Each structure stands twice: as structure tokens, then as C-alpha cells.
Amino acid sequence: MQLSNEEEDYNLSLSKFESMLKTNKVLFFDSEEFEEIILHYLDIGKANLAKKALKLALDQHPKSTGLKLVQVEMLVYDDKLDIAEKLLNELYAIEPNNEEIYIQKANICSKRDQHEKAVELLKIALQYTDDFADVYNLIGMEYLFMDNLEMAKESFIKCLEEDLEDQSALYNVVYCFEFLDQNQEAILYLNDYINKNPYSEIAWHQLGRLHYGVKEYENAIRAFDYATLIDEEFLGAFMEKAKAYERLKKYTEAIESYNRTIELDDATSYALLRIGKCYEKLGNTVLALKYYNQTVHEDPLLDKGWIAITDFYVRQKNFQKALFFVNKALAIDNQNRLYWKRYATINKQMNFFEEAEFGYRKAVEFGDYALDTWLYWVDILQFLGEFDSAIQTLLQASEYFPEENEIEYRLAGLYFMVQDNTKAKFHLSNGLRLNFDNYILIEDLFPVVWTKKMVRNYIEKHRKE
């Protein structure tokens, strides 16, 4: 690969400068060479070398405005904003039409959270600059800081009108459209952009993401295809394409795309997990389990991998193994309500009722307020003979589900069990009012209560009413 003359000169300047530092000989560089050297060191985070270069540069070119502006940039970088501002005011008196002065003044205002003032200064810079794209990009960023997404979007669009290849502006304009919930408008914009710049893999990828977001999976795949045709190593596009194929239940094609990501880079636990799920959907349990095992081998701390194996064995009705693997997941994340619910369900299937009760209790403790979780928990408490705990749990559940007949019938049955007939009749009455036909719950869950003539008479009385 041949370097351009500019790149060769730039590399030569860097080598010459670093050689000078090693030998302590003072060599001459023109001011532009120094600017490039200083900015190079700033870009790679070597601030000390940048400062050495600046000192030498100012010794050799004390009146260079360009170098003084680089000095301002370094002062701002070091948060020495007052000194930077003073130096800018001196430069402004000499060169009031230099756009870089306004850009650096705006930079200082931005650092001080004076974003509106920064925008005003950048708009003045537009009058003097030749690089409109850069200034529009900076204006867009200031509007982002102010959370003014509409104006930010307009600025990034203007930036792209000046420079179609500005990738950061392209990402930012899509971000603004998405944040404003304007996905369809974003799709129209990107189609228009692609007409002008059809070989932008970033644009095709972003278009695919947007189609995916509005569930237009066929269009998403088409866009990702173009992105991967332009850049055959575009890992993100292959990954997104695989997800879209999954949504369309095209599991073989999804596996192909996930495998392509593994060819391009080291296997990720995410890709291995998704391949396993695809094979399971295709009914190939051997390969599914193989990839699930590879997932947890690749990343033993990925709880989702252990849960995938748990669910696999639950579907196989191998609860012994499912219990082993759900415990692995809980060892990583023991505050996950969904994992605790799985733990409870598996133990219930194995008739380990005390462990199941503990699991449902932990699921609720960590925020699972689904009705079925409460009811499973209560039914186990009742089975264990813990009627008072079951009543307290149902009263807690009724705060979330105040008009739920299944709760009322259970409360009625439990109050009858503890001989509190007044409260039992109250809740039975509520249950019958909410859903009369569901009184069968009393017969199913509380056969001892159902044998009481008083209870059946009470139900018959409500039937007639």
C-alpha cells in the first residue's frame, strides 16, 4: 500500500521529532509541522510529549497564530479555561476573522455548560470557515448537550449535506430521529442519503436497524445484506441480520449469519447462545445442547447461558438437571426474580415444596408481582399447612389485585380452615360477586371446606340472588 506524499512527510516529521528528543539536538520544523506533531500526541493521549513539542514550537515560532490556537486547545484540555480565554482574546484582537478563535471560544463556553452561547459563537464561525461540515457537527453536539434533539438533528443533516462521508454525524442524526420516535422519518431520510451515497455500509446498517425496530424484518435483512456486501467483515451487520432471521423463524439462515460473526472474530457467548436456541427451535436438541455448553464454557459468568440450559432441561422434563443449572444461574445473579420463579417451579415439579415455597417468596421479594406467582406461592403454603402465612400473603397480593376472584375464593377457603367464618363469608361473597362460576375453586383447593353444608348453602343462596 503506497503512502501519499502528505502521509510520508507527516511520518518523516514525527520520526525527525522523536529522534531529536533522543539526541537532545534542536532541529527546525515549520509551524504547520509542529501543529501536526502536537495534535498527533494529543490524539493518542501522550499529553507530556504534546507539551514538549508545543514549548519547542513556540520557541521557534513565537508569533504563529496556529500554534497559539493549539496552545489554547491544550489549555482547555487541562481545564485552564481562564488562561485559554485570555489568550483567545489576544488572538481575537489580531485576527478577528479567524474561525478557529470562535470555535475555541465556543469550546470554552461548552466546558462551562454555556451551550447557548457556544452555539452563537459557532454560528459566527460559520461566516468565516471553509469547513462548514465540522462547524455544523459542533453545533449539533451543543444542541445535544441542551437536549434539543430537533435542532441537533437539523445541524447534523446540514453537516451531512456538506460532507456525506461524516460518519459521526450520520450516527448522530439517526440517534436524534430515534430519540424523537421518528423511525419512519429516519427510514425516509436514510433512503434519500443512500441515493446520494449508495456505498455507505454505515447507512445501510442503520437503515436495517430502523426497519428491525419497526418489525419490518424482510426490509431489515435486505439492508443488512447491502451492508455486508460493501464490507464483507461488518460483524455488527451479520449479527443484526441473524437476529432478523430469527424473528422470521428462518433459523437455518440465522445460524449461518451467527456463524459468520464467529468466523470474523472470536466466538462470543451471545452468538453461541443464539445458535443453540436456533438449533433447539429446529428440533436438533443434540446441537442445541452442544452450543449451550459452549456458551457457558466461553463465559462461565453469563447467567443467561445457564438459564438456557435450565430451560432446555425443563422442556425435556429432566428436572434434576434443570435444578442443577438454575442454581448455577442463581449463584451469578441471586436477585433475579425470573430465576427464582424457575427455581420454585422446578422444585414444585420435583415435590420439593419447602424449596418451592422459598423460591416463590424470593421471586416476590425481588419484584415478581405476577398473579400466578402469588397463587402458586399461596397454594404451596396451604399444602404445607401454613394457613396464617398463606392468608397474609394473599392479603398482600390483594393490594396489587383488589378485584381478583381467585384471591377472594382462596381467602374464603383459608379463613374457613382457621375457623374465622365471618371473614370467610365476606371473601366468599366477594368471589361469588366477581365470578360466580369459579366457586369450583373451593371444591378443588379446599375439599374439607366443601363438605360443610353451610358453605354450599351460602353459594346456593347467592345463585338465587
Tens of pLDDT along 279-305? 999 999 999 999 999 999 999 999 999
Q: Stretch 411-428: mean pLDDT, rounded?
A: 95
pLDDT of residue 463: 80
For residues 286 and 379, membership in a common domain is answered with no
Do you know the residue count of the chain? 465
Answer yes or no: do 344 and 410 share one domain: no
**Is 350 in contact with 335 (CB distance < 8 Å)?**
no
Whether residue 23 is predicted with pLDDT greater than 90 in this model: the reply is no
In a domain, 356, yes or no: yes
User: Is pLDDT at 453 greater than 80 in this prediction?
Assistant: yes
Q: Find the CATH number of the domain harbouring 278.
A: 1.25.40.10
C-alpha torsion 390→394→395→400, nearest 10 = 150
Residue 207, pLDDT score: 98
The verdict on 386 and 443 lying in the same domain is yes
* Boundary residue ending a domain (367, 390, 407): 367
Domain identity same for 326 and 350: yes
pLDDT (tens digit per residue) in 141-169: 999 999 999 999 999 999 999 999 999 99
Residue 5: the pLDDT is 56
Co-location of 360 and 390 in the same domain: no
Same-domain status, 396 and 440: yes
Residues 398 and 338 in one domain: no
| Residue among 380, 386, 430, 440 at smallest CA distance from 407 | 430
- For the cut 90, the answer to whether the pLDDT of residue 267 exceeds it is no
pLDDT of residue 1: 38
274/326 same-domain check: yes
Which of 337, 367, 397 delimits the end of a domain? 367
Q: How far apart are CA 31 and CA 70, in angstroms?
A: 11
Is 379 in the same domain as 459?
yes
Of 349, 367, 385, the residue at which a domain comes to its end is 367
* Cα distance between residue 30 and residue 67, in whole Å: 11
Tell whether 67 is covered by a domain.
no
CA nearest neighbour of 229 among 200, 250, 194: 200
The total number of structural domains that make up the chain: 2
Confidence of residue 331 (pLDDT cuts 50, 70, 90): very high
Residue 435 lies in a domain: yes
The CA distances from residue 344 to 170, 356, 410, in Å, are 48, 4, 20
pTM of the model: 0.77
Q: What angle do CA 274, 280, 284 make, to 5 degrees?
A: 125
Answer whether 331's CB lies under 8 Å from 344's CB: no
201 falls within a domain:
no
User: Which whole number is the average pLDDT over 322-344?
Assistant: 97
Structural domain for 320, as ranges: 266-367
